[in-house]
Amino acid sequence: MASDVLVVAERSGGQFGDITFELLGKAKEIASALGGKAGVVLLGDTSGVDALGAADVVYTIDDPSLSNYNPEATEASLIGLLRQVEPRLLLMGTSTYGLDWGGALSVAWDAQLASYVVGLSLEGSDIIATSQLYGGKLFAEAVLDGERGIVTAIGGSFPAEAGRTGGSPEIVATSATASAGKVTFGAIKEPDKSGVDITSADLLVSVGRGIGSQDNLELVQELADALGSPLSASRPIIDQGWLPKPQQVGKSGQKVKPKAYLSFGISGAPEHLEGMRNADLIISCNTDENAPIFDVAHYGTTVDLFDLVPELAEKLGQ
Amino acid sequence: MRIVVAMRQLADLVEELEVDDSGTDIDREFVKFVSNEWDEAALEEALLIKEQSGAEIVAVALDEPDVDQTLYTAIAKGADKAVKLTGLEEGWVSTHSRAKAIASWLGDQQWDLLLTGVQAADDLDGQLAGILAAQLQVPHAAVVVSAQTEGSSVKVSQELGGGTIVEETIALPAVLGIQTARQAPRYAPITRIRQAMQSGGLEEASVAGDLAEGRPTVRRLYPPEKTGHAEMLTGSASDVADKIIELLRAKGLVKS
Ligand SMILES: Cc1cc2nc3c(=O)[nH]c(=O)nc-3n(C[C@H](O)[C@H](O)[C@H](O)COP(=O)(O)OP(=O)(O)OC[C@H]3O[C@@H](n4cnc5c(N)ncnc54)[C@H](O)[C@@H]3O)c2cc1C
């Protein structure tokens, strides 16, 4: 049976994301237990390959078709490489990469896929994945059947240090596989960085869908003003157009690490937690005692935000 | 232009979710089922395309609890037709199986663009858009925040991490996993939903499949152990406010 474990490296702005090292650390653990190699797939230019010293082998596919984000071209090349290497497991993040390519690869490479993975281990020769489902309310422990599998893991689930060790991996340059050419790259647009900077604040007051309406935002804004802190929010508040994108906390927003993070009406979906779980002190208000936010918060309360926020603002305003 | 919007029902995450006796699925008996929020974004994006450049919209969903409500609401919002796919057993449908059912129905249809939500909270074996597209052998893109048709192609914006956007042009037919529509999903007035219900007209088509196909074998479904659970602050709102201010003061974040 195949015994190699491959990781798809994620880069943005030339830098590898932590997820690459988190997955590489995990890949090493599983590959060595299986007696195989931990490999990294580097799509596009080969800059930064030196950072991948922890890998046994790095497969590079340096081709113009991969120099820009393109799901079709990438999948074609990944499938080509998978058929060539035939690893036991392919690891990706449940990022845009995993959400975009994971499912299609599972069909084309005929492998079972486990998504939203936060735990991964080997039992004999079985791959056991633990996935976070239902917005973090339930975990599913599942066995990947068959001889090959794909895992998309949630960022922050495995320690990155294990994937940052030095070494001199074998570099294998492989060629791209042509795709049907139905997806054409246009442009890349960097996010607007103007406006409020929530990443440098010591304290954040953060609001979620529990606030109910745009008009009610005034309440939390008053509290933020009283504390002299910026207002941040979960994604639905940004998607509604109630606050600008730079104020979004989470996987597709900003990663923040303030001295204190005060949240109101945020459930604590994995995508939100990815952006704030490392804050020194997390205090969360949510009327649902089972809300997943309470699993990462240091202090919590189920008092209604509409009672608590005005109390806080008033006491602080005195 | 014919746009298919693949929608689905999902246990309401606001509710308490219990695990059934098998230990491998939620107890479906008493939970409320609602429309998947990302599918609502997909429907909204389809409606925006229809308003901009004209299109016929067909909403399609597997027969799952309270799906009629979702499909009639789609009609009330502006979908031209809604189809309920029947014949699968009730329970936790894998994404691969859901995709197969939709693909088999699409086989008899003429369609140009299929939109669905980027994810659903129980799609353990992966997200629908990519799986369905690979089964149909058509191009796809997920985490899409804008889709606009132009002749026989669609111009999409996909969101990468941290808010970076990549723009692409994709030849039709194509499948897109929608993260956010260009505007927040509209509301359908209750009177219009009732009207749609009264005029009936949900079409039905039968499909076959095995619920768990393509999904890793679930051994155990369980609520996370509360090891790192927050210390709960109780009492009146005023008591809790005092405690929070004290915690912030200890961190030097509140003056005086
Ligand atoms: C690819 C992708 C990327 C994403 N990126 C992000 C991201 O960067 N950031 C992000 O936040 N999300 C992100 N999401 C969305 C994420 O999955 C959740 O949908 C979102 O975080 C939920 O936001 P919320 O907690 O505000 O809303 P909900 O989950 O709806 O929670 C609202 C909460 O408010 C509570 N509540 C209601 N009324 C009250 C009251 N009166 N007082 C107190 N509490 C109350 C409820 O109990 C509930 O728990 C992403 C999703 C995808 C698919």
pLDDT in tens, B173-221: 999 999 999 999 999 999 999 999 999 889 999 999 999 999 999 999 9
- Between CA A152 and CA A157, with CA B215 as vertex, the angle to 5 degrees is 25
The C-alpha atoms of residue B196 and residue A161 are separated, in whole angstroms, by: 57
DSSP per residue, A240-274: TTSS-GGGBBSTTSB----SEEEEES----HHHHH
Copy the structure tokens of residue A137. 């309310």
Chain A residues within an 8 Å CB radius of B234: 301
A300 lines ligand 1 (CB under 6 A): no
DSSP per residue, A93-136: ETTHHHHHHHHHHHHHTT-EEEEEEEEEEEETTEEEEEEEEGGG
Is there a contact between B74 and B20 (Cβ–Cβ < 8 Å)?
no
Copy the structure tokens of residue A29. 């653990």
Supply the mean pLDDT for chain B.
96
Tell whether the model's pLDDT for residue B139 goes beyond 90: yes
DSSP per residue, B7-67: E-EEE-TTSPP-B-TTSSSB--SS--EEE-HHHHHHHHHHHHHHHHH--EEEEEEE--TTH
Instruction: Give the residue from chain B lying closest to A155, CA to CA.
Output: B161
CATH number of A5-173: 3.40.50.620
Write down the pLDDT at residue A160: 96
- Asked if the Cβ–Cβ distance from A106 to B245 is below 8 Å, we say no
State pTM to two decimals: 0.95
Is there a contact between A99 and B140 (Cβ–Cβ < 8 Å)?
no
Q: How are beta strands A149-153 and A183-189 bridged, if at all?
A: unpaired
CA atoms in the 13 A half-sphere facing the CB of A281: 19
CATH number at residue B127: 3.40.50.620
The residue to which tokens 């486990």 are assigned: A114
The residue to which tokens 């779980």 are assigned: A277
pLDDT in tens, B5-18: 999 999 999 888 99
CA atoms in the 13 A half-sphere facing the CB of B140: 34
Q: How far is CA B89 from CA A21, B10, B66, B137, B211, in A?
A: 42, 16, 15, 27, 7
- Asked if the Cβ–Cβ distance from A186 to B231 is below 8 Å, we say no
What residues 93-112 of chain A have any CB closer than 8 A to a CB of chain B? 95-96, 99-108, 112
From B158, B232, B251, residue closest to A301, measured CB to CB: B232
The C-alpha atoms of residue A245 and residue B118 are separated, in whole angstroms, by: 19
What's the whole-number mean pLDDT along residues B45-50?
98
A144 beta partners: A127
DSSP 8-state secondary structure symbol assigned to residue A307 = H
Residues in chain A, pLDDT under 70: none
The C-alpha atoms of residue A80 and residue B192 are separated, in whole angstroms, by: 51
Tell me whether residue B232 is in a domain: no
Chain A residues within an 8 Å CB radius of B214: 106, 112-113
Q: How far is CA A177 from the centre of its chain?
A: 27
- Asked if the Cβ–Cβ distance from B223 to A68 is below 8 Å, we say no
A251 lines ligand 1 (CB under 6 A): yes
Most A-contacting residue of B34, B123, B160 (CB-CB within 10 A), to test interface? B160
Distance A271 CA to ligand 1 centre (A): 9
Tell me whether residue B233 is in a domain: no
Q: How are beta strands A5-8 and A299-301 bridged, if at all?
A: unpaired
From the CA of A212, give the closest atom in ligand 1: 38
Residues spanned by the domain of B25? 2-206
Q: How far is CA A91 from the centre of its chain?
A: 13
From B166, B169, B241, residue closest to A312, measured CB to CB: B241
Going by CA atoms, what residue is nearest to atom 5 of ligand 1? Answer: A252
Write down the pLDDT at residue A12: 83
Give the total residue count for chain B: 256
A275 lines ligand 1 (CB under 6 A): yes
Tell me whether residue B223 is in a domain: no
Chain B residues within an 8 Å CB radius of A304: 237
Tell whether the model's pLDDT for residue B256 goes beyond 70: no
Instruction: Print burial letters for B65-91: b (CB count within 10 Å at least 16), e (below 16).
Output: eebbebbbbbbbbbbebbbbbeebeee
Tell me whether residue B160 is in a domain: yes
Tell whether the model's pLDDT for residue B224 goes beyond 90: no
Tell me whether residue B27 is in a domain: yes
Tell me whether residue B55 is in a domain: yes
Tell whether the model's pLDDT for residue B150 goes beyond 70: yes
C-alpha closest to that of B54 among B6, B1, B4? B1
- CATH number belonging to the domain at A198-317, selected among 3.40.50.1220, 3.40.50.150, 3.40.50.300, 3.40.640.10: 3.40.50.1220
A252 in B contact zone (CB under 8 Å): yes
Tell whether the model's pLDDT for residue B163 goes beyond 90: no
Tell whether the model's pLDDT for residue B28 goes beyond 80: yes
Chain B residues within an 8 Å CB radius of A135: 13, 121
Distance from CA of A270 to the nearest CA of B (A): 11
Domain count, chain B: 1
From B179, B230, B245, residue closest to A299, measured CB to CB: B230
Distance from CA of B219 to the nearest CA of A (A): 5
- Between CA B33 and CA B42, with CA B36 as vertex, the angle to 5 degrees is 150
Tell whether the model's pLDDT for residue B111 goes beyond 70: yes
Tell me whether residue B219 is in a domain: no
- Asked if the Cβ–Cβ distance from A107 to B231 is below 8 Å, we say no
Write down the pLDDT at residue B198: 94
CA atoms in the 13 A half-sphere facing the CB of B111: 22
Model confidence at B228, pLDDT cuts 50, 70, 90, reads confident
pLDDT in tens, A70-81: 999 999 999 999
pLDDT in tens, A132-156: 999 999 999 999 999 999 999 999 9
Q: How many cross-chain Cβ pairs, A to B, lie less than 8 Å apart?
A: 280
Domain ranges of chain A: 5-173, 198-317
Classify B218 as helix, strand or coil: strand
